[in-house]
Amino acid sequence: MKGVLALEDGRVFEGVAFGAGGVREGEIVFNTTMTGYQEVLTDPSYNGQIVAMTYPLIGNYGTNEQDVESDRPQVEGFVVRQYCPFPSNFASRWPLADYLAANGVVAVTEVDTRALTRHVRDRGAMRAVIAAGDDHPPEALVERARAGRGLVGVDLVRNVTCPEPYVYADPGGDALHAVVLDFGVKRSILRCLAAMGMKVTVVPARTTAAEVLALRPDGVLLSNGPGDPEGVPYAVRTTRELIGRTPLFGICLGHEFIGLALGGVMRKLKFGHRGANHPVRELATGRVCITCQNHGFNLEADSFDDAEVEVTHLNLNDMTAAGLRHRSLPVASVQYHPEASAGPHDARYLFGRFEEMMRSERNRAAHA
């Protein structure tokens, strides 16, 4: 069956469809991760996007029930150079094509992903349409892509947040209590917190600051998630109201909400940072970590008027801000994924810093 990827600027890439049939719209982006395609597919941060993998061979270890970051694939479409239909791995349950078909994901293989990646790198991420079937004229798909809404100013968080609060882990006793504002949280983040012996409560994105504080958290984690942070004003408002009242740690989209709440300026990156090989330097120590990143928007490093706000990390590929903290309040965040999944675990120490911040504030309150 024929597969087509049509971009809003008129460029068309043809290939062979695998996965589900039909037509889907989204923003075309590329990911440079060599492994971990199932984690990429199920990461809620990719909601609203068509993902092209730069690594040429995808599907060789199949799919399973463990390596997922949410309850279903979140991408609008999937593009690869070569699909492997015969996976070989002890944990594999389904070939990738079967997994995509069962979950309604349109995918195309036999695409020149090197040419596609260079095109997106040079022209920027843009609206696109992916189609599987022999009755989809490319010209009509290009027009449909041009008529698409794009991601700027759109609230995609509502598509991926949990509908109701729930307790993910509760070891009992005197455990620290972390409340996670779910903007599309990856399961690996929750696993990291639970592995540290914390009680973990997850709440929907529209939970107010008062409702969060009523849970008596020792700290609040603002999770990753999809899209434009300025399209989610209620999350920025909640973040602003939480600052100074409980320790905050933001990851990716959560980092952007903290930055906006502290007066920072957001911009859309030309083609974003997506992959597991992004070097980041911690300015205070000089330590360099290889990080997993997945975002299309970024805070301007020099946009903070408040001298109390400090940029703590830089992405060494383009020298953009990759972390910040407040000098006098328990607030810190990073523009990347310390939990990785997929990717290296260089930055997992940041969860330990969040724990230290929570414990310090608990001790301070006990002796106040």
- Statement: residue 368 has pLDDT above 80: no
Q: Is residue 330 part of a domain?
A: yes
Query: Is 66 in the same domain as 207?
Result: no
Query: What pLDDT is attached to residue 259?
Result: 97
Query: What pLDDT is attached to residue 306?
Result: 85
Q: Is residue 316 part of a domain?
A: yes
Torsion of CA 11, 14, 20, 23, to 10 degrees: 30
- Statement: residue 93 has pLDDT above 80: yes
Q: CATH no. for residue 256? A: 3.40.50.880
- Reported confidence tier of residue 78, pLDDT bands at 50, 70, 90: very high
Task: Kindly report the pTM of this predicted structure.
Answer: 0.96
Q: Is residue 152 part of a domain?
A: no
Query: Is 139 in the same domain as 168?
Result: no
Query: Is 291 in the same domain as 208?
Result: yes
Question: Cα(130)–Cα(23) distance, rounded to whole angstroms?
Answer: 6
The encoded tokens of residue 201 equal 């409560």
Averaged pLDDT score across all residues of the chain: 97
Query: Is 97 in the same domain as 230?
Result: no
Count of domains observed in the chain: 2
Q: Is residue 90 part of a domain?
A: yes
Spot the catalytic one: 255, 273, 295, 337.
337
- Reported confidence tier of residue 221, pLDDT bands at 50, 70, 90: very high
Query: Is 234 in the same domain as 138?
Result: no
Q: Is residue 24 part of a domain?
A: yes
Query: Is 119 in the same domain as 48?
Result: yes
Question: Cα(28)–Cα(310) distance, rounded to whole angstroms?
Answer: 33
Count of other CB atoms within 10 angstroms of residue 154: 17
Query: Is 200 in the same domain as 315?
Result: yes
- Statement: residue 193 has pLDDT above 90: yes
pLDDT by residue (tens digit) across 321-333?
999 999 999 999 9
Parallel, antiparallel or unpaired: strands 126-132 and 199-204: unpaired
> How confident is the model over 50-61, as a mean pLDDT?
98
Q: Is residue 151 part of a domain?
A: no
Spot the catalytic one: 25, 256, 282, 339.
339
Q: CATH no. for residue 48? A: 3.50.30.20
Catalytic status, residue 339: yes
- Statement: residue 367 has pLDDT above 90: no
Query: Is 358 in the same domain as 228?
Result: yes
Domain assignment of residue 246, given as a range: 157-366
Query: Is 124 in the same domain as 243?
Result: no
pLDDT by residue (tens digit) across 279-297?
999 999 999 999 999 999 9
Last residue of a domain, one of 123, 146, 169: 146
What are the b/e assignments for 289-322, b being 16+ CB within 10 Å? bbbbbbbbbbbebebbeeeebebbbbbeeeebbb
Query: What pLDDT is attached to residue 365?
Result: 83
> How confident is the model over 34-59, as a mean pLDDT?
98
Catalytic status, residue 119: no
Query: Is 131 in the same domain as 251?
Result: no
Whether residue 342 is preceded by a cis peptide bond, meaning omega within 30 degrees of 0, is yes
Query: Is 130 in the same domain as 172?
Result: no
Q: Is residue 287 part of a domain?
A: yes
Query: What pLDDT is attached to residue 335?
Result: 97
User: Which residues contact residue 185 at a Cβ distance below 8 angstroms, ignoring those fewer than 6 apart?
Assistant: 44, 202, 223, 224, 225
Question: Cα(294)–Cα(324) distance, rounded to whole angstroms?
Answer: 17
Query: Is 273 in the same domain as 254?
Result: yes
> How confident is the model over 201-207, as a mean pLDDT?
99
Catalytic status, residue 252: yes
- Statement: residue 218 has pLDDT above 90: yes
Query: What pLDDT is attached to residue 366?
Result: 83
- Reported confidence tier of residue 127, pLDDT bands at 50, 70, 90: very high
Spot the catalytic one: 39, 76, 136, 252.
252
SS3 assignment for 50-93? EEEECCCEECCCCECCCCCCCCCCCCCEEECCEECCCCCCCCCC
> How confident is the model over 160-189, as a mean pLDDT?
98
